[in-house]
């Protein structure tokens, strides 16, 4: 049981999500009694000694609005500690740079967000001489085969962006335990509502809060949650001193506000995604749909086991030429073509067309088909969403 126990019941989760007033680090409890933790913009805090000493000294090192959000995120994820970063990439790079020394060894999933892949190949391997092994983490045996006593970190994303592949968190956590190394999981696609990697044995959980946690496409941010005291100290040092890449007070406020409706939004995202996935699966210009909630997903059983729901992300292979695909995207009214995901509005992205830098994958990583379409299903009426797709599909 962790400090913020019992998040497993969904009611409890919703209570935690809404309960900003219960946050112990809420700076105005007993003072002005705000229900919502206020935005503290001050970069510095008056110094005092002894009993008068202020909890906060300088906002890079610690800020009351950030502290309140970090406590809220730790509770949601069932962890002891959380840190809020300036972006998801800031969180991921901080974890990797802190936990893997120059010349170290990192085993990563071969299906992973393109930005993370670039970080691994360009910075970790390129600048810090880290030996990065990409493996197909759908089979834990591949992880076992790549890890040795010199390995520093195992890194996986589940479900993955954009191929919607899963890995067995518990099985990989057991491998990491056998070698006494850390296992980090990017759980952005699932959100803390549908997946709890720490409970399954992961050491570090990362989110791009830009996505579901904030949920309204108006803030870039990231978070790390961990129960490991030593890891937390390392990451906190990097955030507050070494890299200084913490989340601003205003963005902390936005994310904290978004979190309150996370349970309500995630249920709705999932319902809509299921409707869209089933519609796409029945369409003759769609070759294949990748949604963990569909029985046809090869890892549907694993998804049902380790997730409490299937979230709002899916991808599909369009059956047609790239030109026809572009015409389909242009013919959509409700789905906005664009990067990012997890907001209330539906977004659609063709990685090969819109984010080619992120799909110029080398041979070490999983191929992303040219006509793959990624959909972030929003909160619009599901019939309207399916109708929009029906009208635009050739």
Could you list the residues that contact ligand PLP (CB under 6 A)?
87-89, 113, 115, 157, 161, 186, 188-189, 208, 210, 220, 222
Q: Between 64 and 315, name the residue whose CB sits nearer to ligand PLP.
A: 315
State the residue number with the nearest CB to ligand PLP: 88
- Active-site residue, 186 included: yes
Q: What is the pairing mode between strands 204-208 and 222-226? A: antiparallel
Tokens representing residue 363 in the block: 């041979």
Least gap, CB of 197 to ligand PLP (angstroms): 13
- The span from the CA of 148 to the CA of 176, in Å, is 10
* Set 110, 133, 152, 186: catalytic member: 186
- Active-site residue, 193 included: no
Q: Between 4 and 212, name the residue whose CB sits nearer to ligand PLP.
A: 212
Q: Scanning the structure block, which residue is given the tokens 């112990």?
A: 24
Give the SS3 label for residue 222.
strand
Least gap, CB of 70 to ligand PLP (angstroms): 17
Q: Between 38 and 338, name the residue whose CB sits nearer to ligand PLP.
A: 338
Least gap, CB of 200 to ligand PLP (angstroms): 18
Q: Between 189 and 316, name the residue whose CB sits nearer to ligand PLP.
A: 189
CA atoms within 13 A on the CB side of 300: 9
Measuring CA to CA, which residue among 143, 138, 108, 111 is closest to residue 301? 138
* Set 66, 211, 265, 374: catalytic member: 211
Q: Scanning the structure block, which residue is given the tokens 């984010």?
A: 355
- Active-site residue, 113 included: yes
**35 phi and psi angles, rounded to 5 deg:** -80, -30
- The span from the CA of 65 to the CA of 26, in Å, is 8
Please give the helix or strand (H or E) that residue 281 lies within, else none: helix 262-281
* Set 113, 193, 212, 253: catalytic member: 113
- The span from the CA of 93 to the CA of 239, in Å, is 10
Count of C-beta atoms within a 10 Å radius of residue 15:
15
Q: Between 266 and 386, name the residue whose CB sits nearer to ligand PLP.
A: 266
* Set 12, 60, 278, 288: catalytic member: 60
Least gap, CB of 365 to ligand PLP (angstroms): 14
Least gap, CB of 219 to ligand PLP (angstroms): 9
Residues with catalytic annotation? Answer: 60, 113, 186, 211
């Amino acid at each position: 049981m962790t400090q913020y126990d019992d998040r497993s019941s969904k009611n409890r989760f919703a209570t935690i999500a809404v309960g900003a007033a219960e946050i112990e680090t809420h700076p105005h409890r007993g003072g002005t009694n705000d229900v919502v933790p206020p935005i503290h913009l001050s970069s510095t805090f008056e110094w005092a000694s002894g009993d008068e000493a202020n909890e906060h000294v300088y906002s890079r090192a610690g800020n009351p609005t950030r502290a309140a959000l970090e406590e809220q995120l730790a509770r949601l994820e069932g962890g002891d500690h959380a840190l809020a970063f300036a972006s998801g990439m800031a969180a991921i790079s901080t974890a990797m740079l802190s936990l893997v020394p120059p010349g170290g060894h990192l085993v990563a999933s071969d299906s992973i967000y393109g930005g993370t892949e670039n970080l691994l190949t360009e910075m970790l391997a390129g600048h810090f001489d880290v030996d990065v092994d990409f493996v197909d983490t759908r089979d834990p045996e591949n992880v076992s085969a790549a890890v040795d006593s010199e390995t520093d970190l195992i890194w996986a994303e589940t479900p993955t962006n954009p191929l919607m592949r899963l890995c067995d968190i518990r099985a990989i956590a057991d491998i990491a335990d056998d070698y006494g190394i850390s296992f980090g999981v990017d759980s952005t696609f699932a959100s803390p509502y549908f997946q709890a990697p720490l409970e399954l044995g992961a050491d570090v959980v990362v989110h791009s809060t830009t996505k579901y946690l904030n949920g309204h496409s108006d803030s870039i941010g990231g978070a790390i949650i961990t129960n490991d005291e030593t890891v937390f100290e390392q990451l906190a040092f990097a955030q507050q001193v070494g890299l200084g890449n913490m989340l601003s007070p205003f963005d902390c406020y936005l994310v904290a506000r978004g979190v309150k409706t996370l349970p309500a939004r995630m249920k709705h995202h999932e319902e809509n995604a299921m409707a869209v996935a089933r519609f796409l699966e029945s369409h003759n210009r769609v070759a294949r749909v990748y949604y963990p909630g569909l029985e046809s997903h090869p890892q549907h059983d694993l998804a049902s086991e380790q997730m409490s729901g299937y979230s709002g992300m899916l991808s599909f292979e369009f059956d047609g030429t790239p030109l026809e695909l572009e015409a389909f995207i242009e013919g959509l009214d409700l789905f906005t073509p664009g990067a990012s995901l997890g907001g209330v509005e539906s977004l659609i992205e063709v990685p090969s067309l819109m984010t080619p830098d992120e799909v110029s994958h080398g041979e070490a990583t999983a191929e992303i088909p040219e006509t793959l379409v990624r959909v972030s299903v929003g909160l619009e009426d599901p019939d309207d969403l399916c109708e929009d797709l029906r009208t635009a599909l050739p």
